[in-house]
Structure 1
C-alpha cells in the first residue's frame, strides 16, 4: 500500500519559506534560484556478542538556497524556520555568487554557469517503495531480533564472536525553484549486517559477513521473507569453519565466476565512478580523482566485451539512489552508460549537461544534508542480465579451472578508476565444472577495460541481485550518498589472481 509523506514534515512551513527565499533571490537579480528544505533522520544500533554495544538517533533539519547570479553559483544554508530567516539566507547566497563572479573574472575565466532545461514539475509528491517504516518499529524489537540472530550464531561450533548492526534512514525533502517546480519526497532505507568471527586455539582468526545488501525497503526486509535470513545465518558457521581450514590460493590466472554479492562493488568503483562526467572532465581531481573514460571517447571507448550492458537508473524499485526527482528538480530517469561493450553515456547534473552539449540532465544532483550544496552523484549503476541467460550453477559448470567469488570485502583502485584489486568474503575453487572447496588469501587484479573485456558470459535474470552501499563518498567538503548496483552472476576468463599474504610480504 503506498505511503504518504510524514505528516510532521508536511506541517512545516515549506512553501512559505520557499516563497520568501525565492522572492528575495528574484528581487536581487538572480537568474535562477532553488530552495531545498530537508529533514534527515539516521539511527543505528550495534551489538557485540548479542549484547548492546551502542546506538545513535540523529535528525538533521534545515534548508538551503542556491542561486545563479552574474553567471556564478551562490549558496547558503540556515536553520531559522521563519520568513525573515529564509530571505536572509537567500541574500547571503546572492552575495556569495557576486563574490564568486568577481573571483572568476579576476582569474580571466570565460566560463559562466548555465543550466540545461528541465520541464516544470509542479506540486509533485513521491514516496519510496516500502511496507513498514523502520522508525515505526520499537527499538526493543529491532535490538531483540539482532540479539536473537547473534545468539544463534554464537551457539554454533567455531564461532567466537558476533558483531551485529542495523542502520536506518528516513529522508524527507521539499524542493522549489524559480521556474515553478515544487516537489515533496520521502525515502526510507536500511542496512542490517551480522559478522561471525572465529579464533582457533593457535590464535589464527577470520570472519565472514552476511551477504544481505542494504536496500530501499522497510522493516519487512528483516521479517517478511524478502531475504532468506534464517537460511543464510544457518549456513554461515560451517562456511566460516571451512574458510578457516581452507588452503591458500596459488597465484596465477583463473577463470572467475563472480557472484552479484561481489560484482556490485567492482561495478561501483570501475564503472559507476568512472562514468560521472564531472570526474571525467577533471572537476574531482583534487579529491576523488579523475576518470580514464574521458569525454572525447564517448561513443568509441571499448569498455568491455559485447556482453556488457550497463544502465544508470534513478527509478529502480528499492534502489538506494532511487528518487522521484533529484536536488535540481529533474525527474528520475533510466539511460544507457555502456551498450554492447561501448561507452555511450555519462551521469549528469544540469550544469554539466549544459556545459557539454546535452539537452537535459539525467537527474544526478544530490546533497546529503541541508547544509551541503548539491553535487553530481551516482545513480543506481547496474549491469544488465542476459535474457534467457544461464544460472550461476551453469556458469560454474562451464569452467574447467577457476574460482567462484562470493561477497565483497577490501578493494583498491587508482585515481583514474583503471587499475584495481578486489577481495571477497569467500572463494571456492572450481574444478571441471564443480565447486571443490574454499580457498583463502585471494584477490583478483586487472585494469578496468581488461577485466570487463574478459567477460565471456552474464547470467540470466534469475541471478540478478541489487547490491549497494550507504557510504559512497565524494566532494569537498565530503558528502556521503547511498547507491545500489544490480548485476547478475558473470563469467570472466583468464583473470590474474594474487595471493594476498604473499603480496603483503613483498
Structure 2
C-alpha cells in the first residue's frame, strides 16, 4: 500500500528540459496516478483493522487517521527557476485511550498485519504512560457521524495546473518588476492538498479533501548613490482555495491608496504597485517617534491578532501545558472565571471558527472527528472563552469540543491548534476614507514585517511593509522605520473604530509552528481596517554611528 514519492506532476519531464537550470531527477509520475484519491471503501477497511486491534488489546477508545499529503513549492528569482519540489506522504496514525491515558503510534506500511501491530503498540504505550498519570483523560461526548465527507469548495485544483503555467506566472511577475526598476525579486508558490480519512470507535468515518495555497514575493530596490536599499513583500494572503485565487475578479476591488481585492489576488498588479512604491520608500523620511492614532489595514493587523489574541487564548498555553514557540499566556483562567476581564474596548469582538469559506482553517471536521463551528472568544471587549479540544472541554465546563484538534501529518499525534480567530467588523457603516478624515495625527500601515512578543503574549512590537503619515485628515506621504509598541490589553482597549463588513478581509499564517517536537498548521485571521488611538510609535530606521 505504500505509494511512490513523486518528484514532478504533469508536464514536469518535458517542462524541466525547457526551464533554465532545472533537470529532472527521474521519471514523472503519470498525472492521473498523482491526483487519483485512495478508494474510500479501502480506507474504511484499513481503519477498521486498526480500531478492532486496539479494542482487542484493551483500548476503551481509538481513532485512526489515514492521510495522503501532496505538497508542491516553486521558487524563482529574477529570470531563473531556483527550485521545484513536489512530495507525497501516505500512512496511518492511531491514537488510543487505555487505562485512562493516551497512546499513539503510526505506520506507513498499510497491510493488515502492520496496521494491527501499530494499534497494539499504541495501546502498550498508553498503558505504560498511565503508570505516571495522576488522573484519567476526560473526553467530551461526541456522537459518531457514520460515513460523511467534506471538500474545500475549490474552482480549480492547483495540482491540476501544469507546472509550466505556474512557473510562467512567477517569471512574468519577476520580469514586470525588473522592467519597472527593481534591483532584485524572488517569489514562491506553495500548494498543499491534505486527503484525510478519520475513523473512530464512536462510529465516525469521515473523508476530507482539503486544499491550501500561498503565492508570495519580495522585491528589492537599491540606491547606488547612498548604498541603501528597501524591500516590499507581497500583500497576498495564504488561503484555503484553489488556483482561482490567482485569477482576480475586477468586481471585488476595494479602492484606496491602491486597489486591493477582497477575496482574490492579482500578483502582476501587486508587483507593479510594489515596485513603484519602493522608489518612494527609499526617499521616505524617518518617522518621528511619539504617540499616533494607527489605522491598520488587514494585511498588517492579522499578524497582531495572531500573536496577541490567537496564541494567548489557546487553552494549553493558558494551563501551562504548552510553552514552546514564545511561551504561555497572560490570559489565565481566573480572568475568564471573573466574567469581566477587560480585554479590549466594547467594540472589540473576536470569534473563533473553522468554517469560514476560503480560510486556511476551514474544514468539515477536526482531527478527532468533531464537526466544526464558530464561537465567541472576546465579546464586547470581555474574555468569554478559549480554544479547546475534547480532552480540555471539561476544564471550561463545555458539553462538547470546539473542534480545535489538528496534526500536520498522519505520523504526528494530533493536539490543540489555533482555529481562525477573527475581529468582527464594525456594526455601523464606515469606510477607510472616513476613518482617515477623522484622524488628526496618524499612521496608515500595510503588510506584515518584523515583530516581537514576550513569553506571556503581553508586551509586543510590530512594524509594517508600508506606512503613510496622516495629518489633519489627509494622507501626506510615506514614512519609514515606524514600529508600534504596546501591551495586549492596552492596545485592544485603544481600539476606537472598525470599518464595516464591506472592508472585511483575511490574512493568515501558512506555517504556524507549535509544540515539541514542532508541528506546523495553517490559520487565517479576518478583520476590517481598524483604528487605535494614541499608540506609542518608535523609529527603527536610525543607525548608530
Normalised to the residue count of structure 1, the TM-score between the two structures is 0.95
Q: 1:393 corresponds to which residue?
A: 433
Summarize the Cα distance change of 1:67–1:355 in structure 2 as closer, same or farther, 3 Å threshold.
Answer: farther
Shift of residue 296, structure 1, vs aligned partner: 1.7
Q: 1:185 corresponds to which residue?
A: 208
Q: 1:292 corresponds to which residue?
A: 330
Q: 2:526 corresponds to which residue?
A: 486
CA contact (8 A) 1:456 1:493 kept: yes
Q: 1:13 corresponds to which residue?
A: 42
CA contact (8 A) 1:134 1:168 kept: yes
Shift of residue 389, structure 1, vs aligned partner: 3.0
Shift of residue 388, structure 1, vs aligned partner: 3.4
Q: 2:344 corresponds to which residue?
A: 304
Q: 1:279 corresponds to which residue?
A: 317
Describe how 1:421-500 pairs up with structure 2 within 5 A.
Answer: 421-500=461-540
The 2-side partners of 1:287 and 1:428 are apart by 32
Describe how 1:15-414 pairs up with structure 2 within 5 A.
Answer: 15-104=44-133, 109=134, 111-157=135-181, 159-201=182-224, 202-225=226-249, 226-285=264-323, 288-298=326-336, 299-414=339-454
- Computed over aligned residues only, the root mean square deviation of the Cα atoms, in angstroms, reads 1.5
Mark the runs of 5 or more structure 2 residues left unpaired by the alignment: 1-33, 250-263
CA contact (8 A) 1:62 1:370 kept: yes
Shift of residue 395, structure 1, vs aligned partner: 1.0
* SS in structure 2 at match of 1:58: strand
Aligned residues: 495
CA contact (8 A) 2:441 2:470 kept: yes
Mark the runs of 5 or more structure 1 residues left unpaired by the alignment: none
* SS in structure 1 at match of 2:125: helix
Shift of residue 377, structure 1, vs aligned partner: 0.3
Alpha-carbon deviations, 1:191-238, whole Å to 9, x = none?
001221001113201100120101111111112432244432321122
CA contact (8 A) 1:257 1:492 kept: yes
* SS in structure 1 at match of 2:137: coil
CA contact (8 A) 2:365 2:403 kept: yes
The 1-side partners of 2:273 and 2:437 are apart by 23
CA contact (8 A) 1:150 1:194 kept: no
* SS in structure 2 at match of 1:363: coil
Q: Which runs of 4+ in 1 moved over 2 A?
A: 5-13, 223-234, 285-288, 354-357
The 1-side partners of 2:177 and 2:95 are apart by 50
CA contact (8 A) 2:324 2:514 kept: no
* SS in structure 1 at match of 2:410: coil
Shift of residue 288, structure 1, vs aligned partner: 4.1
Shift of residue 11, structure 1, vs aligned partner: 5.6
Shift of residue 333, structure 1, vs aligned partner: 0.6
CA contact (8 A) 1:366 1:377 kept: yes
Normalised to the residue count of structure 2, the TM-score between the two structures is 0.89
Alpha-carbon deviations, 1:157-196, whole Å to 9, x = none?
3x10111110000011000000101100011111001221
The answer to whether residue 460 in structure 2 is matched with residue 420 in structure 1 is: yes
CA contact (8 A) 2:213 2:239 kept: yes
Shift of residue 240, structure 1, vs aligned partner: 1.1
Shift of residue 12, structure 1, vs aligned partner: 7.6
The 2-side partners of 1:6 and 1:386 are apart by 43
* SS in structure 2 at match of 1:123: strand
